[in-house]
């Protein structure tokens, strides 16, 4: 019983991190689509490129963690 509650807490924390990474990545991508190009905000160009790379890494992390959770939860013993 305690182990199931602990697993639930760990999965909740992992999912919270995943959704935070997804929110930030979609937020950055949406800003780029709304501005149309990075040239409109020339002084923040380097910062936006770094944030875009980090957000893409967040999406990749999302898929790897979801696969890991799926394997842990639904793997047949």
10-41 residue pLDDT tens: 777 777 777 777 777 677 667 666 666 555 55
Domain annotation covers residue 56: yes
In a domain, 51, yes or no: yes
**Does residue 2 belong to any structural domain of this protein?**
no
The predicted structure's pLDDT at residue 39: 53
Using alpha carbons only, give the angle 40, 42, 48 rounded to the nearest 5 degrees: 95
Number of structural domains the chain divides into: 1
Band (64; pLDDT cuts 50, 70, 90): confident
Per the structure, the complete domain to which residue 64 belongs is given by: 8-74
Burial class of 29 by CB neighbour count within 10 A (0 to 12, 13 to 18, 19+): middle
In a domain, 3, yes or no: no
pTM: 0.43
- 1 assigned to some structural domain: no
Evaluate whether 58 touches 21 at the Cβ level (below 8 Å).
yes
| Domain assignment of residue 61, yes or no | yes
């Amino acid at each position: 019983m305690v182990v199931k509650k602990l697993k639930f807490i760990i999965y909740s924390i992992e999912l919270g991190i995943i959704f935070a990474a997804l929110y930030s990545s979609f937020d950055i991508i949406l800003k780029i689509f709304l501005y149309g190009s990075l040239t409109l905000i020339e002084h923040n160009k380097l910062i936006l490129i770094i944030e875009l790379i980090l957000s893409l890494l967040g999406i990749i992390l999302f898929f790897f963690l979801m696969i890991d959770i799926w394997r842990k939860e639904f793997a047949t013993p």
